[in-house]
Every structure is written in structure tokens, then in C-alpha cells.
């Protein structure tokens, strides 16, 4: 089993931000990434739609002999991971907005969360927020059009930047000191956010922590690949966005990107 792949899935290309963290931390692992761009964004879908899409991706991962599945999508994690863990025996790693470290470290006691509608409206997000934000003012903003811009490679367009600037005004008005990025697509707009937000605002996402958790669970379950040979990185996409994926992964060698239906 140790040589079987770790399979990640996301509603498109955004989860490659987490994929990069896992590659850095686990360079010997055989990794498969499923970019479900055909159904992006998940954040505008119903909870049942998100569960159904997560089942579809999980079934494909099992066909690929996955030893672990990383749900590299905040919306899918908050809406579907409880169902997946209850119905499948292999280990699942999820990704949630990093509210806890933001709330604990905030001196202003005012933090922002930029996430999809599907994440912010989920019961899991509500539970996590209530557990760690007592005495902290949490300003929630639904990120509109961000996933689509990252998927399409439009994040440098003037119209997108103007739209993003409008969306973050509540954070500026409330003078937050931490902004939690609640979607794996959103790390790709960090340069733009740093230009638009006050300098004292710290941006935080869950990518590194999830990669660390992936490593920990692989070790605890004796699934970590100890072979000296590199397993490889295989990305599958169900749309014609291979060139965009190649650009996002340009700093990594031995990456295979293939179009397939799923």
C-alpha cells in the first residue's frame, strides 16, 4: 500500500496550491490530483450536489488504488467529509479555513474570512467558528468571481482587481488584523490582496498545516512511501485547461497533465 497514490481532488485548479505544499513535504510520494474544473465552482452548489461530486471523485480515486484521499477543497470538506468518512474505509484529510490560529493571534480581536458561499453556509464552518472565536469579531465575506478568475487565469485583469477591491472593503472598514483565506483557489490572489489591504493585515491559509497533517497520518498508518524512487505527480483534468495547469505547476518537474472525463 505504501507505493499506492495519495489522491487529491478539488473543484478545479485551486487545490494545486495545497498540492505544492504536499509535494514539498512528501517528495517521495506518488501523487494524483483530480481537477474537477467542469463542475467549478462548488461554492455555488447545493450541499447535496457537493456531496454527490465528492462521491464521484472518491470513487475515481479508489479505482486509482488511493491509499489516502485529500479533499483539497474547503467547500467539499465542510459539506461532504463527514459523509465520506462514514461511508468509506480509507483515510480522508480535509481542509478548513484556519480560523483558530487567526483568532488566537489577533491582537485587534477582529478577523476576516474570505470564502465561498458553500463554505460559509456549512454547519462544519459554523461549528469551527463558534469553537474558537469567543470574544473575536469575525467579518465574513463571500468571495464572488474569484474561483472563476483563478480557473480562467484572469486574476491580473483590471475588472477582476476592481471587483476584488470592492469585496474586501468590509475588512478594511472593520480594521481587521488577520484575513483567513477559506478556499484553496484564493492563495493565487495573495499578491493582489497584499497590494489592496493595509500592510498590517496578515493573510493566513491552511495549506501548510494540511500537508503536515497528511504526513502525520501517513506515518501513523504506516502508509508513508519509504522507497528512494520518486513516485510521480499525475494531474487529471476534465476540461481543456491543461496549459493553465502547466503554468501553475511550472516550478515542478515530472508533472504529467492529462485530459480525461470524470
d(CA 120, CA 210): 19
Q: Which of 26, 61, 68, 73 is catalytic?
A: 73
Q: Which of 183, 210, 249, 255 is catalytic?
A: 183
Kindly state the greatest CA–CA separation across the chain: 52
Is 73 assigned a catalytic role?
yes
37 in Cβ contact with 245 (< 8 Å): no
Residues 6+ apart with CB under 8 A from 96: 74, 77, 78, 124, 125, 128, 182, 206
DSSP string, the chain: -TTSPEEEEESSSTTHHHHHHHHHH-TTSEEEEEE-GGG--GGGS-HHHHHHHHHHHHHHHHHTT-SEEEE--HHHHHHHHHHHHHH--S-EE-----HHHHHHH-SSSEEEEEE-HHHHTSHHHHHHHHHH-TT-EEEEEE--SHHHHHHHT-TTSHHHHHHHHHHTHHHHHTT-SEEEEESTTGGGGHHHHHHHS-TTPEEE-SHHHHHHHHHHHHHHTT-----SS--EEEEEESSS-HHHHHHHTTT-SSEEEEE---
- Known catalytic residues are 73, 183
Amino acid at each position: 500500500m505504501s507505493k499506492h497514490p495519495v489522491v487529491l481532488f478539488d473543484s478545479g485548479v485551486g487545490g494545486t496550491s495545497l498540492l505544492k505544499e504536499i509535494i514539498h513535504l512528501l517528495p517521495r510520494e506518488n501523487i494524483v490530483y483530480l481537477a474537477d474544473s467542469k463542475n467549478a465552482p462548488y461554492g455555488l452548489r447545493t450541499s447535496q450536489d457537493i456531496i454527490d461530486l465528492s462521491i464521484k471523485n472518491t470513487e475515481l480515486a479508489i479505482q486509482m488504488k488511493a491509499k489516502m484521499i485529500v479533499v483539497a477543497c474547503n467547500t467539499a470538506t465542510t459539506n461532504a467529509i463527514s459523509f465520506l468518512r462514514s461511508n468509506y474505509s480509507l483515510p480522508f484529510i480535509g481542509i478548513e479555513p484556519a480560523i483558530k490560529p487567526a483568532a488566537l493571534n489577533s491582537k485587534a480581536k477582529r478577523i476576516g474570512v474570505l470564502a465561498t458561499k458553500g463554505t460559509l453556509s456549512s454547519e462544519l464552518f459554523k461549528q469551527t467558528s463558534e469553537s474558537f472565536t469567543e470574544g473575536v469579531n469575525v467579518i465574513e465575506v463571500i468571495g464572488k468571481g474569484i474561483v472563476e478568475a483563478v480557473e480562467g487565469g484572469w486574476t491580473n485583469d483590471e475588472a477582476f482587481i476592481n471587483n476584488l477591491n470592492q469585496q474586501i472593503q468590509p475588512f478594511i472598514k472593520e480594521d481587521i488584523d488577520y484575513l483567513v483565506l477559506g478556499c484553496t483557489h484564493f492563495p493565487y490572489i495573495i499578491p493582489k490582496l497584499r497590494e489592496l489591504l493595509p500592510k498590517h493585515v496578515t493573510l493566513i491559509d491552511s495549506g501548510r498545516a494540511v500537508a503536515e497533517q497528511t504526513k502525520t497520518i501517513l506515518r501513523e498508518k504506516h502508509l508513508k512511501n519509504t522507497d528512494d524512487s520518486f513516485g510521480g505527480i499525475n494531474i487529471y483534468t476534465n476540461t481543456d485547461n491543461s496549459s493553465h495547469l502547466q503554468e501553475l505547476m511550472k516550478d515542478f518537474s515530472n508533472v504529467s497533465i492529462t485530459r480525461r472525463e470524470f
